[in-house]
Amino acid sequence: MAGQRRRTLAAWTAALVLFAAAPAAAQGIGLPTQQRDVPIEIDADDGIEWRQDTQAYIARGNARARQGDVAVHADKLTAYYRKDKDGKTDIYRFDAEGKVRITSPHQTAFGDKGIYDVVKGVMLLTGAPRLVTENELITATDSLEFWEKKSLAIARGDATAVRGDKRLRADVLTAYFAPGKDGKTALSRIEAFGNVLISSPDEIVRAERGVYNVRTGIVRLRGSVKITRGNDQLNGDAAEVNFVTGVSRLLGGGGRVKGSFRSRNVTPGR
């Protein structure tokens, strides 16, 4: 039994080394712009098996696949492979099930299930997915996608980005990653599409679309913009909200700016 486990573990490791070294394996296993010039390593508490009938490798029990400084954790990890025309192993799909967690130096993603398409370089997370960065929390009801080749992530379905006491919500949020000053990949900006809403303790801002610069903390909004503070409302085509200072302002140039203000009732003689 021990010998069989060693053989299956050796077969798994060999397959992953081939995956990392193959020409199509410039992709990694998780977040965009990760290190890909090192082999993928995998370990699990409850063993690793090789199923030749279904052409799959399965790791169970606190399973982890790691490449460089990015790792995928799950209760169960499955790699599906096929043979190329030269007879070499080609892993084309990577599934993660149960308590899925993708970790990297600047962000961590969570979900119940993950599917990684090796050819497209796309990781799809479902099951209340969320992405935690150094300053933001991004959540969605439908899915969270990571597109390695484009260095972006897409949150779909009531997508929300939270920073402190401020929220940016939209039907779809697209997050872009870029190298930081330390050379590590970090979130740089978020684009919001459809039913955009920014809320804070003092105001609510609505628009059709917006762009959030993560490094400056500024959100620029376009299309049917409405800024509401209590009973007062400002309407325009463009606006800017500063998450750092808390200042919001309408911008001219896209049409006439309008304001509606309701004065507090004052008792005569006072």
> Residue 20 above 70 pLDDT?
no
Identify the CA nearest to 188 among candidates 221, 158, 153: 153
pLDDT bin (cut points 50, 70, 90) of residue 25 is very low
* First vs last C-alpha separation in the chain: 91
Which residue would you say has higher pLDDT here, 16 or 188?
188
Q: Could you report the per-residue pLDDT of 229-248, keeping only the tens digit for each?
A: 888 888 889 999 888 888 88
- Per-residue pLDDT, averaged over 83-103, amounts to 86
* CA 156/CA 67 separation, integer angstroms: 27
pTM as predicted: 0.76
Q: Where are the domains of the chain?
A: 2-188
- Where does 2-188 sit in CATH, by number? 2.60.450.10
Mean pLDDT for the chain overall: 79
Per-residue pLDDT at 33: 43
Sign of CA dihedral 148, 54, 42, 137: positive
> Residue 257 above 80 pLDDT?
no
**Residue whose pair of structure tokens reads 């484009």 in the numeric block:** 150
Q: Could you report the per-residue pLDDT of 43-63, keeping only the tens digit for each?
A: 899 988 989 899 998 999 999
Identify the CA nearest to 29 among candidates 88, 93, 110: 93
Per-residue pLDDT at 265: 52
Per-residue pLDDT at 31: 45
Per-residue pLDDT at 180: 72
What Å distances lie between residue 125 and 40, 143, 153, CA to CA? 20, 6, 11
Q: Could you report the per-residue pLDDT of 114-152, keeping only the tens digit for each?
A: 998 878 888 899 999 999 988 889 999 999 998 888 888
Per-residue pLDDT at 168: 92
Per-residue pLDDT at 1: 44
